[in-house]
Structure 1
Amino acid sequence: MKSEEISEIKGFPSSPGLAIGAARVIRLVEQIWEVEPGEILVCPATNPAWTPVFTKIKAVVTDIGGLTSHAAIVSREYGIPAVTGTGIATSVIKTGDIIKVDGDKGIVIILKRASSNPNSFYLPHLP
């Protein structure tokens, strides 16, 4: 199955709650400055260097980790939903996709794909 055909991803329900918003796929801590307030962080994993970004995001989804991972613990501290250990989130979800993160069930649903039109670009949170 091609990554664009996948609309539901399962992982560990690591911090309760529900969030819907635009995804921001980040692979390196040096890229966290790209995260806009209210986006949903999608990344391989987090560590203490990633902690400042948790004040800006509304949820987090990781490829690796579990209930005791850094992303899970910090998400619970900040009261934001988290699904960890998906294995595939960063290869399936693209920046700008509208996703739903269910931290109670450990499910991420891709509600709307970002445009694949090369003449368009992603502008988050326009009035």
Structure 2
Amino acid sequence: MTGAVTGVPASPGRALGPARLVRSVDDFGRLRPGDVLVCRTTDPAWTPLFHVAAAVVTETGGLLSHAAIVARECRIPAVVGAADAMALLADGAQVLVDGALGTVTGVTR
């Protein structure tokens, strides 16, 4: 099924890459350069991933969340508060993140 996930536009820009679902610190090693980091939330321990990811999508958060602030600092697109992103985005599926519109398209699952 193809569709879109929407959330809060938190850091502008567009990025295309494979969605990489990261559930915990144990999954950090799965993220490769150019992947789109998809997770429930982030905290300071997750900051190094922002230097690897092409974009970030979180299920929780707003404009002042950790993910939003760090994404802006790293100048990568971010969509936060995207409810059910972990369930709707298939790991490895190509997605387009638009951080200005707050959309993630190309969803397959």
TM-score normalised over the length of structure 2? 0.95
1:85 aligns with 2:75: no
Matched length: 109
Q: Which amino acid in the other structure matches residue 109 of structure 1?
A: T
Whole-angstrom distance in 2 between the partners of 1:38 and 1:65 = 23
Identify which of structures 1 and 2 has the higher relative contact order when contacts are C-alpha pairs closer than 8 Å and 6+ apart: 2
Kindly provide the CA deviation profile for residues 26-53 of structure 1, in whole angstroms up to 9, marking residues without a partner as x: 1112211110111000000100000011
Q: Which amino acid in the other structure matches residue 36 of structure 2?
A: I
CA RMSD of aligned residues (A): 1.3
Q: Which has the higher strand share?
A: 2
Aligned partner of 2:8 in structure 1 is 12
- State which of 24, 33, 39 in structure 2 corresponds to 1:37: 33
Q: Give 1 or 2 for the bigger CA radius of gyration.
A: 1
- State which of 22, 26, 36 in structure 1 corresponds to 2:18: 22
Kindly provide the CA deviation profile for residues 80-105 of structure 1, in whole angstroms up to 9, marking residues without a partner as x: 00000011100110111100000000
Aligned partner of 2:50 in structure 1 is 54
Q: Which amino acid in the other structure matches residue 82 of structure 2?
A: T
1:65 aligns with 2:79: no
Structure 2: state its 5+ residue gaps: none
Aligned partner of 1:97 in structure 2 is 93
Whole-angstrom distance in 2 between the partners of 1:47 and 1:109 = 25
TM-score normalised over the length of structure 1? 0.82
Q: Is the 8 A contact 1:6 1:92 kept in 2?
A: no
Whole-angstrom distance in 1 between the partners of 2:40 and 2:2 = 18
Whole-angstrom distance in 2 between the partners of 1:48 and 1:19 = 23
Aligned partner of 2:104 in structure 1 is 108
